[in-house]
Amino acid sequence: MLNNKTIRPERVIQFGEGGFLRGFIDWILQITNEKTDFNGSAVVVQPIEQGLCDRLEAQNCVYTHIMRGMKDGVPTVDTKVIDVISRTVKPYDDYDAYLALAENPDFRFVFSNTTESGIAYVEGDKLDDKPPKSFPAKVTALMYKRFTLGLDGFIFMPCELIDKNGETLRSIVLKYADDWSLGDDFKAWVIEKNVFCNTLVDRIVTGYPKDEKIDLGYEDNMLNTSELFHLWVIEGPKDILSEIPFDKTGLNIIVTDSLEMYRTRKVRILNGAHTSMIPYAMLEGIETVKDCMEDENMFAFVNRCVFDEIIPTLDLPREELVDYANNVFERFNNPYIRHLCASISLNSVSKFKVRVLPSLLEYIKRTGKMPGNLIFSLAKLIEFYKNGTPTDDADIIAYMKEHDLKEILANTDFWGADISFLYDEVAKV
């Protein structure tokens, strides 16, 4: 079943072979091939020494992806065989094969997910290392080879979960160009002939289903699973759609000149909903996100947080925000994903500072009133650190346990500002 594969021109270089890229990028490429005239395949580069490329090659780089979740209130399962990966390259085993990718003028797109720590500068990486250690150094070496051949550049769409991922990758490439004395002409080529898009990805990919038996009727050791929801926001020039027609796929892909408002929407609504409810849920002994949705009081609380106090602080059209929030609640209700509250509770103080506090403060600024539900979530966060089971830096936990409420609220290291003006409201809770 999995040996049949459509042969297409190689047009994509993909750094990473893990579950996320296979359940997001490769799934998107599959649909793009089916619904448009793109007609391209991806060569997967294994960015670290140990990986899954051998297992992919063992089944001709073809695998099954299963998406599961709630759709209009109904549990839904969608299965697709993915055959867009033409082959794999392992730079640690055959560096020449990796550099040879620079020679094919058809390669135009570079996708990556090398974890949040992947787009990082590693001091000491050299051009003649085989290969250099860091992902950006590997990219720089490939780009330099392509430059020397007089070929056109790439369009980079990194999927690493860091702010300004494309810009950061470009800045590190240019730093290696300086380190390695590659010259001003090369640096000009990097800037003028390549496009580095910042992107925002949103999909929970649950990977290989280790603890359940799924009968496909055939063996698939690279079976992958995810939720149904997907969103990809690409900050870049609209004319990239003339080369890769995502706009003709019907997929939830947005090409924009600024993704900041979409990032804010995700952080404030999706992540903010998690962070505002989890300490409260943990104190109540609720185990999973789905359990939160099925608990009448907890559901009503987080519903008020999102719709009454978070959405009014955001600047996108209200119906768009409401639609996104409804999608978030449907995702929280996914019967196929067991999302433990304890795993989300990690580092709750720093998460609250980024995900919830901006909504709380903006609500006060816009309305002149106190957001009672977000204040309640702050009080429950502090109570969780004092009396619950927090997982965080030992110094943060110790400070929370040993200091009084006023001192905690005044700690600018925690909140980025002195928020002791909230004392009376939080003390009531």
Provide CATH 1.10.1040.10 ranges for the chain: 260-428
3-state secondary structure the chain: CCCCCCCCCEEEEEECCCHHHHHCHHHHHHHHHHHCCCCCEEEEECCCCCCCHHHHHHCCCCEEEEEEEEECCEEEEEEEEECCEEEEECCCCCHHHHHHHHHCCCCCEEEECCCCCCCCCCCCCCCCCCCCCCHHHHHHHHHHHHHHCCCCCCEEEECCCCCCHHHHHHHHHHHHHHHCCCCHHHHHHHHHHCEECEEEEECCEEECCCCCCCCCCCCCCCCEEECCCCEEEEECCHHHHHCCCHHHCCCCEEEECCCHHHHHHHHHHHHHHHHHHHHHHHHCCCCEHHHHHHCHHHHHHHHHHHHHHHHHHCCCCHHHHHHHHHHHHHHHCCCCCCCEHHHHCCCHHHHHHHHCHHHHHHHHHHHCCCCHHHHHHHHHHHHHHHHCCCCCCHHHHHHHHHCCHHHHHCCHHHHCCCCHHHHHHHHHC
pLDDT on residue 355: 94
Q: What is the pLDDT of residue 368?
A: 97
pLDDT for 209: 86
Entry pTM: 0.87
Q: What is the tens place of the pLDDT at every residue in 339-348?
A: 889 988 999 9
pLDDT value for 22: 97
Span(s) in the chain for CATH 3.40.50.720: 10-256
* pLDDT in the model for residue 4: 81
CATH fold label, 10-256: Rossmann fold (3.40.50)
The pLDDT of residue 1 is: 61
246-255 pLDDT per residue, tens? 999 999 999 9
The segments of the chain whose pLDDT lies below 70 read: 1, 116
CATH class belonging to 260-428: mainly alpha
- pLDDT of the residue at 126: 97
